[in-house]
Chain A
């Protein structure tokens, strides 16, 4: 039986007929008395509403004709109707979405005031009861219309400012530069807020998505989390799952604070990769020693034995302070040895570490190697207890197997 048969009406009946038929049948199978019958009926009702004809609202829209903008007349209505029918509207598709939506918001807004103050409107049955508005309500109405006047301007300034902010990496990662959004008077309005939330998400997801291809996060956690606090993207994930593609979601969602909260009940154990690390270390040491020997032999050839010691010293310093950190903070996230073995260095959050962090790590590692007798014992304990070596613990960076992509 299809939904029309269950409801006992002609296929493609209008909404009103569907609702009346549903209401009539519902009295025979109430949800608390006949759960199965109710579920079947309700499903049929929802399907009927979804597959029923899309209705274009022609009448009851005095403001549209009054405004005298025939081109815009049906567009917002269709969207509302489609939304009602359960098909999400795809506002991203439009390239000039910013300007268009802004215009629509401003457009639609004027209507509400009219509706609210229009006592002849059939829907406003409440207002008929209270023909005279109290002083406070009049003040509220004034507030509303004042807010409406600012929609167009606010949308425009949002557009220009956001575009300007994302041009500079420094500004884009400064929370203060985003604070203007909060203070826009139109942000109180639900529709404006929703449009803003989606638009800003798109902008951030897009820049991060392209920067992530070179393993870089353009807009970093603090700003993402600040904006999430403002727009609650994390609460909308189901809708965004539907609306945006995977890589756009992955450019924002994994960096939200909720992802960082510790897992309740048991932490996942990290792996140490002891032998792999030892091999990688050996390779790096071989490089270091080979070059040192090369420097030494050149110095010997030149007959400057005393200076060879200084040369080797500078070489080691260069190696520790520049070469290793550059490699570890590079796109490959590891020294030559680690790259050969297939390891990479990550920060506590699983990101690539920056140069300063990598230098610190390298210096600490060097000291650990020099004081190896003492460190050996500490490392034994640490590796058993936390699957870490001393330099990992001190610099809060870890080594893991490179994931295959």
Chain B
């Protein structure tokens, strides 16, 4: 029984398994380890996942979805081909494709998975991820935090004897920070924190805005298709800026003729706002772990966006040292998830590794706020289970009455970090009866128990009577009900997945169509001619011919695309 380790990312996803004592990344139908988290649904209700989805974003922006991980755990729907899809459903498409790839690669059916989530994902988002797994036909054995997964991969790759390090994971859409310690086979997470709305995509948006400003137009005035074109070009600029000092962008839109030069310095300047947002989660983790930056042996960068030179520079200046990135930052998390899957299956080779993790947010209850004179603040938050407690964890706090002859105590349970409960997420409430007495004389003992699967149990014991109350908090706000799940399964049953074998052809056609749209006269005819030729060969269904044609066609498209930037 193999368990699949999956990194379900904002921009790219990947998967890996633990096999024969080592971690093995699984290639998709195109032979890549990374599958873009992009969905395209065509007129025949066929679902395309991966590169095809990304290419189609230009030609069919109304039928493609990207960056939907950001909406996990919300009610937001994305409309594709006249039907609404939730982020959970779209994620399940990606998972299904990865599952198929793995089954093909390993020639066995896979029903279990370990999926990585940003450490800072809250309960709702975690449950949404589990549901996406279930919809794709995968039982989610464990959700592993992304930085933890990265740390596992590093820990097993480098095998240091004793090391305390920080993992900074800046992915497509989320930023995660974790401090960990590795000694004698124990990987202990000390603290983690993050920002769920900070990632490579935000830097890209800024670059797009900068470009639009340079050609003196705005987002509102630009057509969605043009915007997609700019986005693709800017993505490329962003990557190239990691290597060169400045990039010259040829005109992208038909309406303008100017070339725009973007230098690394300019990019660093416009992204300064985002870079300064890195600071706060890093400070929080250091504080929670009670560690000075000097105590860290290493600062490890994970995630595609950490390739940015400006980010490396900021991190170096924050910690007064060079950050390290030995493994491929895009694949580290998937590798870690694969290892975690092996751990879960209790593979022999991993038997001496134990992982302890923390609960990334604070759980507590509301208490009366005496200082609230104007009535705008509301109750204060009294933490019971502090964030970054090692899980499973169980903590007790006592609370007392504030009025004479008070008859009951109301415990409102919250999750969050704000001092005021109104800024935290309400999880539920319990009211317990207490005997009448002077204020402060009656009270109750509240015990919070949090297990490894993120389940919170609340036990309350009234001190004087010994009466006990119990509540299990499971239903986080925004979670799908059983009925909604069944409905969504029914809707998805109508969709077919595009056959995996044809993905290469689909991608080539999609690419050709995108290029066709962005080119003019002569080149268009050239593309058109080649495309027709390619489709003819496909129709003849001669395997050897098709293989040769794929290579030729890909080469043609490459040569077309490369003269674009230089």
Binding site for B on A (CB under 8 A): 19-20, 22-24, 26-27, 30-32, 35, 38-39, 42, 80, 83-84, 86, 108-109, 111-113, 115-116, 123, 125-126, 129, 133, 136-137, 140-141, 143-144, 147-148, 188-191, 193-194, 232, 234-239, 250, 253-254, 258-264, 267-268, 270, 346, 348-350, 403
CB A400 to nearest CB in B, in angstroms, measures 8
25 chain-A/chain-B pairs, Cβ below 8 angstroms: A19-B162, A20-B183, A27-B352, A83-B290, A84-B290, A84-B295, A112-B294, A116-B320, A116-B322, A129-B326, A141-B316, A144-B320, A189-B318, A190-B283, A190-B293, A190-B318, A235-B284, A236-B287, A254-B371, A258-B420, A259-B377, A259-B420, A263-B376, A263-B378, A403-B373
Count class of interface residues, chain B: 35 or more
Within 8 A of A (CB), among B309-357: 309, 312-314, 316-322, 324, 326, 352, 354-357
Nearest residue (CB) in B for A85 is B290
Q: A84-B295, A237-B419, A268-B375 are in contact. Are A143 and B317 (CB under 8 A)?
A: yes
Distance in angstroms between the alpha carbons of A193 and B356 in the assembled complex: 30
Q: Is the CB of B184 within 8 A of A31?
A: no
A20 touches B184 (CB 8 A): yes
**A30 contacts which chain B residues (CB < 8 A)?**
354
Interface of B is mostly: mixed
Return the chain A residue nearest B297 by Cβ: A123
- Residues of B close to A19: CB separation below 8 A: 162, 183-184, 186
Top 8 nearest A-B pairs by Cβ distance?
A: A350-B374, A23-B184, A268-B375, A112-B320, A35-B392, A188-B317, A140-B316, A237-B419
- Cα–Cα distance between A35 and B451 once the two chains are bound (Å): 8
Decide: A350 and B373 in contact? CB cutoff 8 A.
Answer: yes
Distance (whole angstroms) from the CB of A89 to the closest CB of chain B: 10
> Do residues B373 and A112 form an inter-chain contact, with CB atoms below 8 A?
no
Given A80-B292, A188-B317, A239-B287, verify A258-B393 contact (CB < 8 Å): no
Q: Which of A27, A35, A42, A253 contacts B452 (CB 8 A)?
A: A35
Using known A-B contacts A144-B321, A263-B376, determine if residue A86 contacts B294 with beta carbons closer than 8 Å.
Answer: no
Q: How distant is the Cα of A191 from the Cα of B320 in the complex, in angstroms?
A: 10
Q: Are B376 and A350 in contact (CB under 8 A)?
A: yes
Query: A83-B292, A143-B316, A144-B317 are known contacts. Are A23 and B378 too (CB-CB below 8 A)?
Result: no
Which B residues are in CB contact (< 8 Å) with A258? 418-420, 423
Query: A26 and B186 in contact (CB under 8 A), knowing A86-B290, A113-B320, A350-B373?
Result: yes
A141 touches B322 (CB 8 A): yes
Q: Is B286 an interface residue (CB 8 A)?
A: yes
Chain A residues near B293: list those with CB within 8 A: 190-191
Interface pair A137/B294, CB less than 8 Å apart: no
> Which of A19, A126, A137 has the most chain B CB within a 10 Å cutoff?
A126
Q: Which residues of A contact B292 (CB under 8 A)?
A: 80, 83, 191
User: Within 8 Å of chain A (Cβ to Cβ): is B282?
Assistant: yes
Provide the bound-state CA to CA distance between A136 and B375, in Å: 55
Contacting pair A270 B319 (CB below 8 A): no
Evaluate contact between A39 and B393: CB separation under 8 angstroms. yes
Residue B27 lies at the interface, judged by CB distance under 8 Å to chain A: no
Given contacts A189-B320, A235-B280, A403-B373, contact A125 B160 (CB under 8 A): yes
Q: DSSP majority for the A interface?
A: helix
- B394 interface residue (CB < 8 Å to A): yes
Closest CB in chain B relative to A193 CB, distance in Å: 7
A238 CB to nearest chain B CB (Å) = 7
How far is A203 from B320 in the complex, measured between Cα atoms in Å?
28
**Does B386 interact with chain A (Cβ within 8 Å)?**
yes
Give the nearest-CB partner of A34 in chain B: B392
| Contacts A23-B186, A39-B393, A191-B293 known; 11 new A-B pairs at CB < 8 A | A38-B392, A80-B294, A84-B291, A86-B290, A123-B297, A140-B312, A144-B321, A238-B383, A250-B371, A258-B420, A260-B376
Q: Pick from B320, B356, B417: contact of A235, CB below 8 A.
A: B417
The answer to whether B391 has its CB under 8 Å from any CB of chain A is yes
Q: Which residues of chain B are within 8 angstroms of A80 by Cβ–Cβ distance?
A: 292, 294-295
| A180 shortest CB reach to chain B, Å | 16
Q: Cβ of B523 < 8 Å from any Cβ of A?
A: no
Within 8 A of A (CB), among B381-433: 383, 386, 390-394, 417-420, 422-423
* Residues of chain A with a CB closer than 8 A to B386's CB: 238
Chain B residue at minimum C-beta to C-beta distance from A20: B184
Residues of chain B within 8 A of A125, CB atoms compared: 158, 160
A232-B394 contact given A80-B292, A147-B317, CB 8 Å threshold: no
Which chain A residue shows the least CB distance to B452?
A: A32
Residue numbers in A under 8 Å from B317 (CB-CB): 143-144, 147, 188-189
B316 A23 Cβ-Cβ under 8 A:
no
Which of B309, B322, B354, B375 neighbours the largest number of chain A CB atoms within 10 Å of its CB? B322
- CB of B132 to closest CB in A, whole Å: 22
Chain A residues with CB under 8 A of B423: 258, 261
Which residue of the partner chain, among B280, B376, B392, contacts A39 with CB atoms under 8 Å?
Answer: B392
The verdict on B279 contacting chain A, using a C-beta distance below 8 Å, is: yes
**B341 smallest CB distance to A (angstroms):** 14
A264 to B376, CA, bound (A): 10
Complex alpha-carbon distance, A129 and B352, angstroms:
26
A163 and B290 alpha carbons, distance in the complex (Å): 30
**Are A232 and B371 touching (Cβ within 8 A)?**
no
Q: How far is the CA of A133 from the CA of B316 in the complex (A)?
A: 14
Whether the Cβ atoms of B321 and A112 lie closer than 8 Å is yes
Q: Which residues in B have their C-beta under 8 angstroms from that of A112?
A: 294, 319-321
Contact B282 A190 (CB under 8 A): yes
Q: Is B298 an interface residue (CB 8 A)?
A: yes
Give the Cβ gap from B565 to chain A, nearest Cβ, in Å: 22
Report if B185 contacts A (CB, 8 A): yes
Contacts of A268 on B, CB cut-off 8 Å? 375
Chain A nearest CB, measured from B140 CB (Å): 14
Question: How many Å from the CB of B322 to the closest CB on chain A?
Answer: 6
Q: CA separation between A262 and B420, bound complex, in Å?
A: 11
A253 touches B183 (CB 8 A): no
The CA of A250 and the CA of B314, in the complex, are separated in Å by 34
| A254, chain B: closest CB distance, angstroms | 6
Name the distance in Å between B362's Cβ and chain A's nearest Cβ.
8
